[in-house]
Each structure stands twice: as C-alpha cells, then as structure tokens.
Amino acid sequence: MSTSDKVAILSTLCTRDSAGQHFTAKFSGDDLGTLEAEGLIKVTRPVHQTGIPYGAEYWSVEVTAEGVELVEAYPEDCVAE
C-alpha cells in the first residue's frame, strides 16, 4: 500500500461515516490490518464479560498520533468525504 493510499484512508477513517457505514464494511481487512500493524490506527475489539468477543459491528477505530502525523505530512493526498 502506498503512502498516498494510507493517507486517503486515514483522512476519512472513522467508526461510522456520515451515511452510517461501518469502517469494516467500507475498507478492506487487508488495508486495515496494514494500517494497524504499522501503528497508524488502533482498532478496539470489545469482549463480553463471558469472554466471547463481540462482532465486528461493535468494533471502533481511531487514528493514532503517528497516523495523524502522516496525514499532516501529505495533505495533498487527503480525501474529503
């Protein structure tokens, strides 16, 4: 994934967009995995007190400080939603 691709995703990434679409439905799992592995996003995957993980629709995402720095370094690659 190129830096431009990363910035394009990071600049619009949120748990649910203005249309209500969840980030796991909007972006590929491979792309999200890459961003998470590189420390550019943090995905919170809650687990019920019984130990059973909640489904992906209950996950949330946030862009880390490193992700924000990348977006700020390449403003020309930002995508307006």
pTM score, whole prediction: 0.91
Q: Is the pLDDT of residue 10 over 70?
A: yes
3-state secondary structure of 43: strand
Q: Is the pLDDT of residue 81 over 70?
A: no
What confidence score (pLDDT) does residue 42 get? 98
Using one digit for the tens of pLDDT, what is the confidence trace for 24-59? 999 999 999 999 999 999 999 999 999 999 999 999
How is residue 53 written in tokens?
Answer: 């993980």
What confidence score (pLDDT) does residue 79 get? 84
Percent over 70 (pLDDT), the chain: 99
Tell me how far apart the alpha carbons of residues 53 and 64 are, in angstroms, rounded to a whole number.
23
